[in-house]
Structure 1
């Protein structure tokens, strides 16, 4: 058993962990490991939004255009595709792309094919919406956790392998303890979400500025290989409880510090569903995410349900990744999206000048 924090990122602690050195977790879990040359990653949520099934084909065409550009020079190292319907009834297709090299991402984003398409007047006139939510945590600003050791999804897919079984899990506060930055920093938020260009209520192009220590969680489930009792347990007991909690955050997250919550289903390029899902949750702070996880009934029901059946699970693949970001490492752009989309809902208008 080893620490979730790799040796080259360990330093003398000024902030203690929540556990004693001899703590023994209740079951094994693992984290993704990267080579020491990894300094920062990019996570780009590139979305297409539509209202009404008659526009879904047009939205899928937009998603395919985004994915086609991934094949350009400096494209992402990994991506996946999802679909979900938001609280306002809009369909949303998202390509989530990961880069190991922020410089490669910048070159890709500024390449003529990508830049010209995004800035084209056609994006304002083709009857659907688009958004970019791009974040770039440094290597000490994110953590992972997996119940398996191969074929990691998400940010784990661009890392180099798996740890041995780790100590920091199975207790409240373990998420924070897995952050290398938590050794010396409480990761407290500074500032507010601000609209710095455009008006969400008028449509068009809107730019939102992030703030320091904004937190993002991706928490995933893969039931494609389950069968029999395990499949029944997931689909009839775990998933409905999970969905209830995710719907609460989608509809009432504003009251507890959750800026945006999307419970998404994997799809292929033709829009067909795949038996994988994950939650995308943006929070004002890691503290507020922890508070919901530790004390809110909607999460406690998820937690209790999982632990009640955990011993019967062998093929269900569960994982998460959590990140925090400096204000300058976040980009939130929206084109013709409804005003409750993403970071727009909770952003304040920046003062003139």
Structure 2
């Protein structure tokens, strides 16, 4: 049994864990492992938004353009593409990119092709909305959890491998305990979301400034290889409770500290749905995420359902990754998106 915190990220603990040292989890789980060369990662959510179904082809063409921009030497180490409909009825396509080296992401972001396209006046008049939501946590500022050990998704794809069975799971507070920084830091929120350029109600270009320790969760389910029994387990038992929880956060998240929640499904290059989904949730703080997870009926039902099925999982792949980031390592930019998109909804207008 291993600790979720890798040895090179271990330091003298000044904050205690939520369980005693002799705790043993009820079933096996694993975390991603990376060597000491991974000091920071970049998680970039690059979105295209539209409401008119006739704009779907144009939106997919933009997704193809973004993915094509990854062909150069500064491409991300991993990416995937998703679709969802938000609370206001807008379709959103998101290219999610992970860079193991922030310097490579900066080079990609500053490349002429990317800059010229993003800054072009045509972005204001082509009938689509765009957003870039990017955070870059340090290695001590994110944690992972997998119910499987191969072909890791998300940030796991840019790590070096997988742990043995880990101790810190199966109890309230285990998410926090898997963060290396939790050994000495509460990861408390500081400051407020603020509009620093533009006006969401007018449209056009808008920039939102974040604050320290915004928490980002990606929690996924993949059933591509699942046979009939496990597909039914997910689609008939897990998905209904999961959807109810995700819809609550989408529609009522502001009251519990969730800035934005998107329940997305993976798609191929032509926009066809694939057998994978995950939520993308931005929270004011890890503490607010924990409070919802530990006390709200919508999540308690999700948690109870997972515990019922966890030991019997074979081809149904469940996982999550959670990170926090310093304000200086966050970017939230929007072009022609509706004013409730992403971080704009809860940002203070100055």
**Shorter-chain TM-score tier:** over 0.9
What residue in structure 2 maps to residue 114 of structure 1? Answer: 114
Preserved contact between residue 260 and residue 283 of structure 1 (Cα < 8 Å)? yes
State the number of aligned residues: 350
Preserved contact between residue 230 and residue 312 of structure 1 (Cα < 8 Å)? no
Residues 84-99 of structure 1 aligned to structure 2 (within 5 Å): 84-99=84-99
Gaps of 5+ in 2: none
What residue in structure 1 maps to residue 318 of structure 2? Answer: 318
Instruction: Give the C-alpha shift of residue 306 in structure 1.
Output: 1.8
Residues 130-279 of structure 1 aligned to structure 2 (within 5 Å): 130-279=130-279
Helix, strand or coil at the partner of 2:79: strand
For 1:240 and 1:22, how far apart are their aligned partners in 2? 36
What residue in structure 1 maps to residue 55 of structure 2? Answer: 55
Instruction: Give the C-alpha shift of residue 314 in structure 1.
Output: 1.4
1:17-52 deviation line (CA, Å, top 9, x unaligned): 011111100001000000111110000000000002
1:193-225 deviation line (CA, Å, top 9, x unaligned): 000000000010000000001000000000111
For 2:305 and 2:30, how far apart are their aligned partners in 1? 21
For 2:311 and 2:191, how far apart are their aligned partners in 1? 43
For 1:297 and 1:221, how far apart are their aligned partners in 2? 20
Preserved contact between residue 33 and residue 162 of structure 1 (Cα < 8 Å)? yes
For 2:207 and 2:304, how far apart are their aligned partners in 1? 40
For 2:224 and 2:241, how far apart are their aligned partners in 1? 19
Instruction: Give the C-alpha shift of residue 261 in structure 1.
Output: 0.2
For 1:306 and 1:36, how far apart are their aligned partners in 2? 33
Preserved contact between residue 41 and residue 99 of structure 1 (Cα < 8 Å)? yes
Preserved contact between residue 48 and residue 93 of structure 1 (Cα < 8 Å)? yes
Instruction: Give the C-alpha shift of residue 274 in structure 1.
Output: 0.6
Gaps of 5+ in 1: none
TM-score, normalised via structure 2 length = 0.99
For 1:305 and 1:23, how far apart are their aligned partners in 2? 22
For 2:315 and 2:185, how far apart are their aligned partners in 1? 37
Residues 281-296 of structure 1 aligned to structure 2 (within 5 Å): 281-296=281-296
Helix, strand or coil at the partner of 1:70: helix
For 1:211 and 1:204, how far apart are their aligned partners in 2? 23
What residue in structure 2 maps to residue 308 of structure 1? Answer: 308
Instruction: Give the C-alpha shift of residue 313 in structure 1.
Output: 2.3
1:328-350 deviation line (CA, Å, top 9, x unaligned): 00000000000000000000023
Superposition CA RMSD, Å: 0.7
What residue in structure 2 maps to residue 128 of structure 1? Answer: 128
For 1:306 and 1:104, how far apart are their aligned partners in 2? 38
For 1:156 and 1:311, how far apart are their aligned partners in 2? 22
Residues 57-96 of structure 1 aligned to structure 2 (within 5 Å): 57-96=57-96
For 1:13 and 1:92, how far apart are their aligned partners in 2? 42
Preserved contact between residue 198 and residue 205 of structure 1 (Cα < 8 Å)? yes
1:279-331 deviation line (CA, Å, top 9, x unaligned): 00000000000000000000001111222233332111000000001000000
For 1:25 and 1:130, how far apart are their aligned partners in 2? 43
Preserved contact between residue 27 and residue 310 of structure 2 (Cα < 8 Å)? no
1:235-266 deviation line (CA, Å, top 9, x unaligned): 11101110110000000001000000000000
For 1:202 and 1:66, how far apart are their aligned partners in 2? 26
TM-score, normalised via structure 1 length = 0.98
